[in-house]
Structures are given as structure tokens and as C-alpha cells.
């Protein structure tokens, strides 16, 4: 007896996700992601298309061992005018004994059959039926991805249903309704799934595969489940052709936490969602999307003073779920939108009493900075943050610079090094074969542990040259800095407050190769100075937080 509240999860990150512009997985990348998905408890992992390219062949030749998932190969129905037994593409799907399922895409929209395939409508139905019948005894499960199902159904429902029937009657386990062009709205999905079920194909054999071209892929997938389908296809972080596929990272908690469905993922294991989402970003060398629902760093970040004041009383005032359920964490940020509540909450996170930070200590810190206001005017920490944000600093993202600011006021951060002076030269010249080359060279004088050092560094640009020279000096005293990497570097012009020309804000995101990330900021009319401020904060933060103590 089928459990009607059980929804099967099907991940196509390694196939449809590989169709994302700019994404190019290696076989090793695919294996790494497949292992994450298996550990999470995804029911089906579509590994790719055997026979389509060498990467997918390499992956399927030695796939990772699955413990909880069925490894699935993707392909298409037999070619027109061939028998299934003689179709090399179809039979390439059978060459892998470890497969748990095979999914075949086939047309279900009469217009596509005529235009894209260029075959008779009946021949397409035979292609579907015969391909399913050929695979059925040879693999544990066969699925039919009904390409363009919703668009096809809207124009010719009778033919679209015949395509599903051709698969169902020949024993396909799942008929997957695809919103291939991603233009459907939830009400279309609800109506059409309802009519398919009423036409005799049970929801326990129906799946949904939505694209995000109208930004409805998640909503459409959930609507399909409400209307009866019991398999949901999607990708991690919504990767996929054009605007992407339905994002499983949102679908899974919506199904489990809001709609009361069961999946192969235990409720306690939902907390692995953040890890899986970030693991994909790591493989793709992408900066995680801060605003991604459920798992983004800002998904439970509170900035507005009114919000923070209420969240301190009860987090559910401004949170739709407890962030811990999906492995995320609440964050209170400080900025010019902050009130005293933000500051108290942030300081509590840092383990610091607000009262411990005196006005005088803040004035001393600001005197070391190049700001356009008189440091003696600062009244307290909230006032200081608002003034610095007005100068161009952005502490809601640069949380590491904020922490350094406060800890410097408290005298908790030692001077790891002092930059005495520097000179940077940029040169553009022709090389020996007449090509233009640009080179930057930085000479710095730095004091570390009572000794002075002069060093020269070369780089692709002035910041790189400066960074190279500084690291040469500092890694002797602080070897852990060898692992410091700049993950992101952003520059933007901020409004001048002093009428002396545009100021630039440089924001740097750094990593230490151990999964730690922190963000620092620098502001100056000179972009190099702004960069150096952010860079020096990044180094100081790493040494303070993870290294020297």
C-alpha cells in the first residue's frame, strides 16, 4: 500500500544543472556532488547522459557507490525509423550495471513532434512505447520525461495524454510532466495535473519537472504535489538550462515543514541543506547567494531596528521557521538601519557588554581612521556606526570589520603588524614579442614583532602586488596566513559626504580553506587605500579569530 504522503525527490543537478550556461562539471565534481546528495537522502540522482559526452561516460564508468539513492541515467527515446533494439543511444543507457533507473525524454506536444522531430504523430507514440518496453526488463525502473507536457496539453490535451499512456501502458514507473519552457503558472499546473489524474494516470506514478523562466518553478512544483504528483524533480540551488530548474533546496523544506509531506530525508537531517547548497557552490567556485531562501546567509539576518527589537522578544515575529531546522543561523546585523536593539543583540553574540565599550575608547579608534567627521563628536557605538556608514562603510556585510572595530576599542586586538610606508608602481609596456603587458610592483616597509622589514611584491594589479609583498613579510611570523585567500573583491563608488570627490568602498570576502569566511571593508577616495584597509582588516581578523588569539 502506497503511503500517500510520501514524495520522492529526484535531483537533476548533474544533468539539467550541467546545461547551465557557465557550468562545466568534471567527472570528479559529479562524483562529489552525487555523494552529498546520497548522504542527504535524495531518492534519485540523475548522473548525466551516458553516450552524450566523455565526462558523463567517465562518471558512469566508475560511479560513486550509492547508499540511499538510485543512480539514474538520462537519455532519449529511440530515434525515428529505428527499432529500440538497434538504437545505439538507447542501448548506451544499459551499459551500466549499477543503475537504479533510466529516464527517457520524449515529446508530448504535437507541434514539437512535427517541427522538432519531423515525424508522424503516431511514430512518436511508438518511439515512447517501444523504448519503455525495451528498457523495462533490463533496468530496475524506467521513467518517461514528458517534454513540454503542459504547453502540449494546453494545445492538444488528447495527444499529450496519449504520450503519457504510451509510457504508462508499457510499464514506466513514473510519467514526469515537464514544464520545459518554464512559462506555466501554478493555476495551470493545478488544473492540468488534476485532469491527468482524472484521466486515469495515478498521482503515485506522476512526477513534475519545472523550469524557472517565469520564476514559478518552486510554486509550480508544490502546486503539482498538492494536485497529486508524488515525484518532484529539481536541482540544488536551482541550477539548470536558461533560468534554471526548480530549486530542491527550497522545495524540500516547503514539502516537509509546511505541507506535511514525508520524503526519504529524516526531519533531523534537514539541517544538512545548508551544507549541500554550499558544497555545490564550492565545486562551482561560486560565492553563495546571500539571499537564497532557507540557506542564504541573509535568510535569517535581521537589519531593521524595529525587526531586531521584536526578534529579541520572539524570533517568530520576523522568521518563518526556526533557522536551525535547515542548518542555518539567525544573524543580527548592525548598520545605519540599526537601533539600540541591534547593537545589544550583536554585542551579545560577540560576548561583549554594551557598557564595556566607552565613548573615549571609540574616539581613540576613530582617530586612527581617515574620516570626515570630528571623532570627538561620537556619542556611542550606535552613533559611531551610523556615522561610519554615512562615510561609506557597510557593516551589515562586513561583520568582521565591525567586530574588529569593537574589539580594538576594548583593546582586545593586538597590533599584529604596522604598515610604515609603501610605494606602488604600475607599468604598461610591450614585451619582447610586441604584446602589451601590465605589471604592478609594490615596495613596503612593515614592522612585525619589533623588527622592520622591506619587501617587494609583483602582481597583476596594485592590490595584488601589495598583497604579495605583505604576505612575504607576514607569513614568516604568521605561517597560517599562507591559507588566506580572497574569495571576492568588490569596489563601488559611494556618495561623497565631504564634497571632496567620490569615495570608494572596497569589500573583501576571505576564506582560510577550512570553511571559514569573513568580510571586511575599507573606504577612501583612493581605491588602493580603501583596498589596503579592507585587506589589513582581513589579515588581522584571521589572526585574531582563527590564528593567534
Ligand X SMILES: CC(=O)SCCNC(=O)CCNC(=O)[C@H](O)C(C)(C)COP(=O)(O)OP(=O)(O)OC[C@H]1O[C@@H](n2cnc3c(N)ncnc32)[C@H](O)[C@@H]1OP(=O)(O)O
Which residues are near ligand X by CB under 6 A? 16, 19, 49, 52-53, 76-77, 79, 105-107, 116-117, 127, 147, 180, 241
Residue 531 interaction partner, one of ligand X, ligand CC(=O)C(=O)O, none, beta carbon < 5-8 Å per kind:
none
Q: CA nearest 7: which of 264, 202, 192, 267?
A: 264
142 or 413, CB closer to ligand X?
A: 142
11 binds ligand CC(=O)C(=O)O (CB under 6 A): no
43 or 147, CB closer to ligand CC(=O)C(=O)O?
A: 147
78 or 503, CB closer to ligand CC(=O)C(=O)O?
A: 78
Q: What DSSP line would sit under 272-336, residue for residue?
A: GHHHHHHHHHHHHT----TT-TTTSTTTTEE-SHHHHHHHHH-GGGS-SS-GGGGT---EE--ST
38 or 179, CB closer to ligand X?
A: 179
387 binds ligand CC(=O)C(=O)O (CB under 6 A): no
Cβ(77)–Cβ(90) under 8 Å?
Answer: yes
Q: Where are the beta strands (DSSP E) in 95-246?
A: 101-107, 142-147, 174-179, 206-210, 231-234
Residue 369 interaction partner, one of ligand CC(=O)C(=O)O, ligand X, none, beta carbon < 5-8 Å per kind:
none
The count of other CB atoms within 10 Å of the CB of residue 431 is 9
422: Cβ contacts below 8 Å, ≥ 6 apart: 442, 443, 444, 445, 466, 469, 532
- The residues pairing with 137 across neighbouring beta strands, listed in sequence order, are none
Which three cell numbers mark 4? 500517500
Residue 405 Cβ vs ligand X, minimum distance, rounded to whole Å: 50
Give the interface size with ligand CC(=O)C(=O)O as a residue count (CB under 6 A): 8
Span 93-152, contacts to ligand CC(=O)C(=O)O by CB under 6 A = 105, 145, 147
228 CA to centre of own chain? 30
Q: How far is CA 258 from CA 17, 222, 255, in A?
A: 26, 11, 6
Residue 111 Cβ vs ligand CC(=O)C(=O)O, minimum distance, rounded to whole Å: 15
Residue 211 interaction partner, one of ligand X, ligand CC(=O)C(=O)O, none, beta carbon < 5-8 Å per kind:
ligand CC(=O)C(=O)O
209 or 230, CB closer to ligand X?
A: 209
Residue 527 Cβ vs ligand X, minimum distance, rounded to whole Å: 43
Q: CA nearest 209: which of 165, 144, 153, 158?
A: 144
43 or 145, CB closer to ligand CC(=O)C(=O)O?
A: 145
Rounded CA gap, 337 and 354, in Å?
A: 18
Residue 42 Cβ vs ligand CC(=O)C(=O)O, minimum distance, rounded to whole Å: 17
76 or 219, CB closer to ligand X?
A: 76
Which three cell numbers mark 2? 502506497
Q: Which of 9, 175, 178, 345 binds ligand CC(=O)C(=O)O (CB under 6 A)?
A: 178
Grid cell 536551482 is found at: 238
Interface residue list for ligand CC(=O)C(=O)O (CB under 6 A):
16, 105, 145, 147, 178, 180, 209, 211
Amino acid at each position: 500500500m502506497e503511503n500517500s504522503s510520501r514524495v520522492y525527490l529526484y535531483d537533476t543537478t548533474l544533468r539539467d544543472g550541467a546545461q547551465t550556461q557557465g557550468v562545466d562539471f568534471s567527472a570528479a565534481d559529479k562524483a562529489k556532488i552525487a555523494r552529498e546528495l546520497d548522504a542527504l537522502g535524495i531518492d534519485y540522482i540523475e548522473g548525466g547522459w551516458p553516450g552524450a559526452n566523455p565526462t558523463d561516460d567517465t562518471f558512469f564508468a566508475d560511479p560513486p557507490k550509492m547508499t540511499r539513492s538510485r543512480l539514474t541515467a538520462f537519455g532519449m527515446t529511440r530515434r525515428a525509423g529505428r527499432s529500440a533494439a538497434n538504437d545505439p543511444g538507447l542501448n548506451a543507457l544499459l551499459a551500466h550495471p549499477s543503475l537504479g533507473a533510466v529516464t527517457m525524454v520524449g515529446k508530448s506536444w504535437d507541434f514539437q513532434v512535427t517541427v522538432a522531430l519531423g515525424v508522424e504523430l503516431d511514430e512518436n507514440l511508438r518511439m515512447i512505447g517501444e523504448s519503455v518496453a525495451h528498457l523495462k526488463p533490463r533496468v530496475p525502473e524506467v521513467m518517461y520525461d514528458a517534454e513540454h507536457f503542459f504547453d502540449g496539453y494546453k494545445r492538444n490535451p488528447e495527444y499529450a495524454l496519449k504520450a503519457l499512456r504510451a509510457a504508462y501502458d508499457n510499464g514506466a514507473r513514473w510519467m514526469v510532466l515537464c514544464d520545459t519552457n518554464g512559462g506555466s503558472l501554478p493555476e495551470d499546473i493545478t488544473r492540468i495535473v488534476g485532469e491527468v489524474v482524472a484521466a486515469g494516470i495515478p498521482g503515485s506514478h506522476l512526477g513534475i519537472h519545472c523550469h524557472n523562466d517565469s520564476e514559478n518553478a518552486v510554486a509550480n512544483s508544490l502546486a503539482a504535489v498538492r494536485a497529486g504528483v508524488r515525484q518532484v524533480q529539481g536541482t540544488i540551488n536551482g541550477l539548470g538550462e536558461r533560468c534554471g530548474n526548480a530549486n530542491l533546496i527550497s522545495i524540500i523544506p516547503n514539502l516537509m515543514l509546511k505541507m506535511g509531506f514525508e520524503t526519504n530525508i529524516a526531519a533531523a537531517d534537514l539541517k544538512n541543506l545548508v551544507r549541500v547548497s554550499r558544497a555545490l557552490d564550492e565545486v562551482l567556485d561560486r560565492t553563495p547567494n546571500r539571499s537564497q531562501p532557507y540557506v542564504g546567509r541573509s535568510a535569517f539576518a535581521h537589519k531593521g531596528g524595529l525587526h531586531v527589537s521584536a526578534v529579541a522578544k520572539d524570533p517568530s515575529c520576523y522568521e518563518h521557521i526556526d533557522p536551525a531546522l535547515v542548518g542555518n543561523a539567525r544573524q543580527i546585523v548592525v548598520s545605519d538601519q540599526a537601533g539600540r536593539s541591534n547593537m545589544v543583540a550583536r554585542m551579545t553574540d560577540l560576548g561583549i557588554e554594551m557598557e564595556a565599550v566607552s565613548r573615549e575608547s571609540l574616539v581613540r579608534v576613530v582617530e586612527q581612521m581617515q574620516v570626515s567627521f570630528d571623532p570627538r563628536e561620537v556619542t556611542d557605538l550606535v552613533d559611531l556606526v551610523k556615522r561610519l556608514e554615512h562615510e561609506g562603510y557597510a557593516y551589515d556585510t562586513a561583520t568582521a570589520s565591525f567586530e574588529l572595530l569593537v574589539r580594538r576599542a576594548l583593546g582586545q586586538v593586538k597590533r599584529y603588524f604596522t604598515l610604515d610606508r609603501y610605494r606602488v608602481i604600475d607599468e604598461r609596456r610591450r614585451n619582447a614579442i610586441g604584446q602589451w603587458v601590465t605589471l604592478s610592483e609594490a615596495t613596503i616597509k612593515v614592522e612585525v614583532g619589533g623588527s622592520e622589514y622591506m619587501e617587494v611584491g609583483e602582481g597583476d594589479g596594485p592590490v595584488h602586488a601589495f598583497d604579495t609583498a605583505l604576505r612575504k613579510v607576514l607569513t614568516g611570523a604568521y605561517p597560517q596566513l599562507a591559507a588566506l585567500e580572497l574569495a571576492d573583491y568588490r569596489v563601488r563608488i559611494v556618495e561623497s559626504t565631504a564634497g571632496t570627490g567620490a569615495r570608494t568602498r572596497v569589500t573583501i570576502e576571505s576564506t582560510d580553506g577550512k570553511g571559514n569566511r569573513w568580510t571586511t571593508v575599507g573606504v577612501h577616495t583612493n581605491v588602493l587605500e580603501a583596498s589596503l584597509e579592507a585587506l589589513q582588516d582581513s589579515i588581522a581578523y584571521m589572526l585574531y579569530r582563527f590564528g593567534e588569539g
